[in-house]
Structure formats: C-alpha cells, structure tokens
Amino acid sequence: MAPPLELSRRRFLTGAAALAGTAFLASCAGLPGGTSARTLQFWHLLSGADGVTMSGLIDGVNAAQSDYRVRPTVLAWGEPYYTKLAMAAAGGRAPDVSIMHASRVVGYAPGGLLDTWDTARLAELGVDSSTFTEAIWRKGFIGDDLYSVALDAHPFILMYNTDICDAAGVLDSDGKLRPVTSPEEFLEMARAVAGASESHGLSYGYLGDGAQMWRLFYTLYTQHGLEM
C-alpha cells in the first residue's frame, strides 16, 4: 500500500524488526523506462523457506498496485549483512527498507541510521499496538519513538502429553498443567511425568544450535528482572 504524496518515503516505513522487521533508510528512484512508479530498494537476509515466503509477499505487493515497485536484494545472514547495512546507511547509500533483528535496533537508531515509524499513518493502515502482543510492540520503541515493527517472533512454548500428564497427576480439573510457582515445583512435576512415562519427563528444543541455547538463557535470565 503506497503512502500519500505528502508522506515521505522515509516516514512511511522506518525501523527494524523484533525479532525481524523492516526499515526505510534511503531515497527512492523512478523505474527505468520513464515510468512514474517509484522503486523501493529492499535488503533482507532471508533464504530457504522464509526467503520463498518473502518473495511471494513482494510479488503480491508489486502486482497489487502501480505506485511503486519493491526490488529486493538478499545478502548473507549475520555480520556481513549488518556491516554492509551500517556502512551503506552511514554513507548515504542505504536501501529504502531493510530487515534486521530487534536486538540490533538499539545500536542503529541512536546514530541516526534509522528513521522512526509514522505511527499515525500505520494506524490508518491497520497496524498499531492491537496488532501485536504488548511485549513485541513495545520492543520496537526507543524512548517514545517507534523504530521497529516486527515481522515475526520466536517464542518458546511448552507442549505436553495429556495422557501421560494425567497419569502423573499433574493436570488440573480442566485437563491443563497445574500452575508452577518455583523451579523446585517444576522439577517435581517433571519427575512425576518421567515416572508415568517410564522415560524422559522433560526435553528441550528442536534445534541444538547455540542460538537456541542463548535464547533460552536470555529468557530465563530476564525473567529475574535483570538486564544484559
């Protein structure tokens, strides 16, 4: 959806994601051939299945209107991407919109490498705090300014076998896990489940990489009210 003429491109979409979002960083240029449509340069680091999904979204946006065209560039994930993004922004040659992890926003925004979102315009387009959980929406703010609008998030969820947990006596009257108020109580519950299953009472994760371990540690650490 294109912004009105009185709204600059930099004000229409600005920021970086939570977990991943988009940021407008530079000026738009017209398309070759003398068309009036503007080109939005879009950098992202999505490959694999998420890259296919993003390509489909971009194709849909380009096909839905003729005011502008989104032109994506896919770069290598990690430090090479963020180094190029910072250097391009500092040198005045940044893409119009880009994706970054929310943890990076606090390093980019104070240096003037990102603009703020126009929250009033976003609300007109149906994007506001009601669209997200409170924690994800607030993650995009630095002070009173919104720099980041999340494309996705990576929550940890707890799944349990209701038959085994029922046999272990750890379900409430609604068939859900009883509330746990301490680590000791959680371990006691896991031991009861292990006894009922005659095997493991608790397992973690679907990926054994360092990023998953870090996310879990960071989650538990900050639940104590601590900050990194």
Residue pLDDT, tens place only, 135-192:
899 999 999 999 989 998 888 888 999 999 999 999 999 999 999 999 899 999 999 9
Most confident of 23-37, 59-73, 87-101, 105-119: 59-73
- CA-nearest of 95, 134, 82 to 14 is 95
User: For residue 4, which of 61, 86, 67, 63 has the smallest C-alpha distance?
Assistant: 67
Q: How far is 97 from 22, CA to CA, in rounded Å? A: 6
* Mean pLDDT to the nearest integer, 188-207: 88
What pLDDT score does 183 carry? 87
Reduced to 3 states (helix: H, G, I; strand: E, B; else coil), residue 102 is helix
Domains parsed from the chain with CATH numbers: 9-146 (3.40.190.10), 162-222 (no CATH)
Q: Is 50 exceeded by the pLDDT of residue 66? A: yes
pLDDT band at 216 (very low <50, low <70, confident <90, very high): confident
Specify whether the CB–CB gap between 14 and 147 falls below 8 A: yes
Q: How confident is the model at residue 62 (pLDDT cuts 50, 70, 90)?
A: very high
Q: How high is the pLDDT of residue 36?
A: 65
